[in-house]
Amino acid sequence: MAVSPLVAAGRMCELSGWSITNLQLQKMLYIAQMLSLGRSDGDRPLIDGTFEAWDYGPVLPPVYRHVRSFGARPIRNVFRRFREPIQKQDDDVLRETALALGNKSASDLVSLTHREDGAWAKHYEPGRRGIEIPEQDIVHEYRRRITVPASRLRYRRRHAEADHAAQAPVG
């Protein structure tokens, strides 16, 4: 069962030690959603909400509205009334994302979510809000990011075997 946007946001902020800004939070939630959707082939969204393509990247509007007063400052715990149990699998994705990205700058995270071939870029129209990013496009972005072309895979395998052979003890 997907987590409500504000519950996911509160958990991500908590896991990040209450040190992230709204911009960082939005990007981290998007990456977490991408991981959950991509790993489940689109069957298991992490967040029960739709990301929109805004000027600074993917945004969950209810989360933005709830924390916009913080501006570029770290978000404090304004999520106390948004408590509900989070399934372990969902919490694991939030935790993985926080650990991997919690120390990244806002500009680093923007770079991660603004890829030319990404779902945000496909739907972004400068200055417009309200343009939804379909979950299926997020799944496609995940696949493009993690899929290694077969030719590169063969190259890696061939060189790994050669390295292994070179390191084998001579008897």
Query: So where are the chain's domains?
Result: 5-167
* pLDDT exceeds 70 at position 144: yes
Mean pLDDT for 84-111 is 95
84: Cβ–Cβ under 8 A, 6 or more apart, which residues? Answer: 3, 4, 7
Report the mean per-residue pLDDT for the chain.
88
Among 60, 56, 7, CA closest to 30: 60
129: Cβ–Cβ under 8 A, 6 or more apart, which residues? Answer: 52, 54, 61
**pLDDT class of 146 with cuts at 50, 70, 90:** confident
Mean pLDDT for 100-120 is 94
14-47 pLDDT, tens digit per residue, is 999 999 999 999 999 999 999 999 999 999 999 9
Q: What share of the chain has pLDDT > 70, as a percent?
A: 85
Among 46, 2, 48, 1, CA closest to 28: 46
Can you give the pTM of this predicted structure? Answer: 0.84
Q: In what helix (H) or strand (E) does residue 52 lie, and over which residues does it extend?
A: strand 52-54
**pLDDT class of 141 with cuts at 50, 70, 90:** very high
Give, as one character, the DSSP assignment of residue 58.
E
* pLDDT exceeds 90 at position 82: no
* pLDDT exceeds 70 at position 84: yes
